Amino acid sequence: MNSSESSAIAPGLAWFKSSYSGAEGGQCVEVAAGTGEVHVRDSKVASGFVIRVSREAWAGFVKQA
């Protein structure tokens, strides 16, 4: 797993939030599919740190969730 500042992430990523996230905000994360990896960030701090994981690791996480 890698982390980096979002400004270092390739521009043009399409970020998505879960449909279960209400309009009131709360504890949400956003994800974006990049080339070979998935990017995850805190939706309330979009300019903060981004966690990058392989597509395989993300698929395993989603399968367990």
pLDDT tens for each residue of 12-37: 889 988 777 766 666 788 999 988 89
Report which of residues 24 and 44 the model is more confident about. 44
Q: Which residue has the tokens 């990049």?
A: 34
pLDDT of residue 8: 55
| pTM recorded for the entire structure | 0.74
Of 14, 7, 16, the closest CA to residue 35 belongs to 14
* Cβ-contact 28, 43 below 8 angstroms: yes
pLDDT of residue 7: 46
Which helix (H) or strand (E) segment holds residue 42: the answer is strand 37-42
- Please state, in angstroms and rounded to a whole number, the distance separating the CA atoms of residues 5 and 22: 26
Report which of residues 38 and 65 the model is more confident about. 38
Report which of residues 59 and 23 the model is more confident about. 59
